[in-house]
Structure 1
């Protein structure tokens, strides 16, 4: 990595916008960034490592206020190492609980998907047997699919979807 990167280079490498990088600096998530003679920001390797860690915290859904607290502790030096470790340990506990909850939710989704596959297969089997082997004079049961009303498709005109109206399009 080059010794100092411009804000455009950091944008390309991190996926953050220049506005977000300046905002992070303004609110204290990123310490003051060195400047070139013309005033342009120049990010050092240590800045990039810190930004990458902030991105990991953001991925774990750490609130920005907690990120600011962590950044302030970091800026205060080694005396805050126990506090930083404790903060990360508590956050990790929350992240692991969220992962467990997401696993349960994913299992429920998978079960529902399997249920719908089974229903689709049953419907396809019924349709095939009715089309291929149905006797026109055979009585139809009232609980069968033939007596279910067929829902009408939802129709929207272009540009008239609910989201478009709310956004004034």
Structure 2
């Protein structure tokens, strides 16, 4: 059986693992990352671009507590199966959509939308509905829970530290 981490170079594994949280908060975060990794800033930028091109990462940047800067909402749509990939790709291209994912449910496409204010957020949801022809279910957060979504990638498929 092929090890999942074997697909990545040592530098790629370090970038994926070591910077899931605590990204340097400075005017030069990529240079700071490079210094910690013992490479130059251009190598970090090129490696991250390569990981993004391969689909290993979607973005690099901060995650802010919901509604602490601007507004956000969780949204869901019931998208006909033949349209699902096309609608997901459309959502991926919207700068206000953080991420989207498929679920095995009547509402099979879920995503998070952020905007400067509620009017802009509503306009984005309306735009998605108009483009897709599918109603958008707006599910604003009533209470927040912190779930750390970081994963230690220094283990193989059998749970042994690499």
- TM-score between the two structures when normalised by the length of structure 2: 0.19
Higher gyration radius (CA): 1
- TM-score between the two structures when normalised by the length of structure 1: 0.18
Question: By percentage of residues, which structure has more strand?
Answer: 2
Q: Which has the higher contact order (CA 8 A, sep 6+)?
A: 2
